[in-house]
Structure 1
C-alpha cells in the first residue's frame, strides 16, 4: 500500500470525525433530509471547477485516452455510489439526533467488521480472527448501546448500525468502480445523485426553510465542502488499488476523532461502561487486521 493512499485515507477519516460535530449541530436548525440535500449539492458544485481544471490540463498535455464504454461505467459508478451514500448518510443523519457524537462515530466504524464479512459473498474466506473480531465488537456494542436498565437498543444506535452496513456497501461499490473511472468525476456524480434523492425526500417529508438553512451556514458548509467535496473525493482517490478491508481500517479512525471532537467542541462525555464498549470495539477493529498464516512476498509487500 502506498504512503500517499494511506495519507489521503487518514485525512478523510480526520475530516469525517469532525463532521459528526457539524452534523449534530446542523440538526438544531434543519431536518436530516434537508441537511443532506444541501450538503450533497454543495459538495457536487465544489468539484465542478476541479473537474474543469483537470480536464483542461489533460487536454493540454494530450493525456485523454479513449476507452470504450468509459462514460457509461463512470455514470453507473456515480449512480451506484450516490444511492448507497444517500441511504447511508440519511440513516446516519437521523440516528445522530438520538445519540452522542462519540457513540455515533464508534458505531459507524462497525463497517471495519462488516466489510470483510461482505467479502464472503465474493467467495472470500473469513478467518477465525475475523470471527473473533465480530464477537468482540458485539460485546463492545452491548456495553456502548445498552445504557438503560432494560435490553432495548437506543433508537439512534439502531439507525447507526444500519448506517454502518450501508457505508460498508458504499466502500465495496467504490472498490469495484474506482480502479477504472475518474475518481473526482465519480465523486461529483454521486453527490448530485445523493442530493437529488435527499431533495425529493425533503420536499415530501420536511418543510425546508431558507432562513433556517442560512442560519446553519457553518455546519452545512463544513459538511458540504469538507466532508463531501473534499473527504469523499479523497476516499475514492485514496482507495484506488487498496484492499477495501485495509482502507476501512484507516477510515475507521474517524470514530476516535469523533469522540475527541465531541469532547472538545460539544462537551459530550461517555460513561465508564460506554468507554469500555468503545475500547472493545477499537480492539475489534485492530484484531480484524491481524495477519493470519504466512503471506506471499507480493502480499507482504502490499501490506
Structure 2
C-alpha cells in the first residue's frame, strides 16, 4: 500500500473518532464547563504525547526554539476551533455541530488560494461543492433553524480550516511528535487561562463532577483517541496529501456524528439529512477519483485515433 492511501485512510479514521465523540463531549460538559473540560482533556493528551516523544528521543529534546512557533500557532487555531465548538454544543445538537464544523471543507481551498495561491485540482473543487451542498441539506433542511450555538460552531470551522492549512506548511519542517506536543499543550494553556477568567473552573476539585462516570469516560475517549491519537495521525498524514483533500475527507465527521447521535440519543435524520450524508460521501469519493488522469488518457487516445485517420 502506498503512503498516500494509508494517510487518507488514517484521516478517515480521525473523522470517525471526532464524529463519534460529539455526544460524549456534550454529556461531559453537563458536569464540567466547556473551557475547563478542554483544558483538562488537552493537558492529559499533551502529557501522553510528550512521554512518547521523550522516550523516542531517549531523554534528549533536540527541537529548537524556532520550532516552538509553528506548534504555538497550530495550538491557537485548535483553541479557537475546540473552544467555540464545545461552547456551541451547549446550545445546539451534536449532529448539527458536526455538520457546521464540516463547512471547513469549502473554507480550506479558499484560504489556501488567498494566502498561498494554491489552486485546488478540479476534482477537489467538484468534491468540495458536492460536500457543501450535502452540508446545506443536513443543516438548513434537516433542522429547526439556526441558533446561537450554530454561530459559535461556525467560528470553530474557520479555526479548524486554518489549522489544516498551517499543518500542511509546517509538517515537513518540524518533528511530528514535538509539533503535536507543543500544539496540544498550547490549547490546554489557553483553555485554562480562559476558564479562570470566564468559568467556574473550581468544579474540577469537586469529586461529584470530575469523578462522575460520564466525565471520566469522556476524558479517556477524548484525551487518548480524540486528541493524542487523532492529532498525531492528522499531522503525520498531511505529509502525504493536500490540505483540500484533508478537508474533504474530514467532512465525513458530521456523517459519523449523525450516525452516533442516532444510535446513542435516537436523534433521527430526515430525508434531506440522509441525502446530505450521501452527497458528502459522494463528494469525498469524487475527490479521490483519478479524473484528471482519465481525461488526459482519453484525450491522448482520441488524438492518436484522429491522427491515424488524417
Q: Smaller-chain TM-score range?
A: 0.7 to 0.9
Q: Match for residue 222 of structure 1? A: 221
In 2, the alpha carbon distance for the partners of 1:6 and 1:73 equals 29
Q: Would the alpha carbon gap of residues 204 and 186 (structure 1) be closer, same or farther in structure 2, given more than 3 Å must change?
A: same
Please state how far the C-alpha of 1:149 moved relative to its aligned partner. Answer: 9.9
After TM superposition, give the deviation of residue 287 of structure 1 in Å.
4.8
Alignment partners' CA distance in 2, 1:44 and 1:147: 39
- State the 1:80 CA deviation: 0.6
Counterpart mapping for 1:2-151 below 5 A:
2=3, 3-56=5-58, 71-121=64-114, 122-125=116-119, 139-146=133-140
Give, in whole Å, the separation in 2 of the partners of 1:133 and 1:39.
Answer: 33
Compute the RMSD of aligned alpha carbons. Answer: 2.9
Deviation at residue 228 of structure 1 after TM alignment: 1.0
CA deviations over 1:144-173 (Å, ceiling 9, x no partner): 3336999x6232222222222211100011
Match of 1:253 in 2: 252
Distance 1:206 1:116 in 2: 35
Deviation at 1:102, TM superposition (A): 2.1
Gaps of 5+ in 1: 298-303
Indicate the SS of the match to 1:180.
coil
TM, length-normalised to structure 1 = 0.83
Partner of 1:213: 210
Which residue of the partner structure matches residue 262 of structure 2? 263
Q: CA–CA distance in 2 between the matches of 1:134 and 1:8?
A: 20
What is the match of residue 189 of structure 2?
Answer: 196
- The TM-score normalised by the length of structure 2 is 0.81
SS at match of 2:99: helix
* Structure 1 residues 98-130: Cα deviation after superposition (integer angstroms, max 9, x where no partner): 222222222212222221122212212356666
- Are residues 276 and 159 of structure 1, via their aligned partners in 2, closer, same or farther at CA, if it must alter by over 3 Å? farther
How many Å separate the matches in 2 of 1:293 and 1:30? 50
Task: Single out whichever of 237-246 and 271-280 deviates more from structure 2.
Answer: 271-280
Partner of 1:301: none
- In the comparison of the two structures, how many residue pairs are matched? 287
Find the aligned partners of 1:39 and 1:273 in 2 and give their Cα distance: 35
TM-aligned CA deviation for residue 138 of structure 1: 5.3
Partner of 1:300: none
For residue 250 of structure 1, report the CA deviation from its aligned partner.
2.8
116-125 or 136-145: which moved more?
136-145
Residues 28 and 218 of structure 1, relative CA distance in 2, 3 Å threshold: same
Query: Which deviates further from its counterpart, 178-187 or 5-14?
Result: 5-14
Could you tell me how far apart the structure 2 residues matched to 1:126 and 1:196 are?
35
* Helix, strand or coil at the partner of 2:172: helix
SS class of match (1:240): coil
Q: Which deviates more from structure 2 when the two are superposed, residues 223-232 or residues 248-257?
A: 248-257
Distance 1:185 1:257 in 2: 30
> Which whole-Å CA distance do the structure 2 matches of 1:133 and 1:22 have between them?
30
Contact preservation (8 Å) 1:73, 1:181: no
Where structure 2 has 5 or more consecutive residues not aligned to the other structure, the ranges are 298-310
**Do the aligned partners of residues 53 and 16 (structure 1) sit closer, same or farther apart at CA in structure 2, a change above 3 Å counting?**
same
Structure 1, residues 42-61: CA drift from partner, whole Å, max 9, x if none?
A: 1101112201111019x7xx
Name the SS for the 1:169 alignment partner: helix
Q: Contact conserved, 1:16 with 1:227, CA < 8 A, in 2? A: yes
- The answer to whether the 8 Å contact 1:9/1:251 transfers is yes
Q: Distance in 2 between matches of 1:50 and 1:205?
A: 33
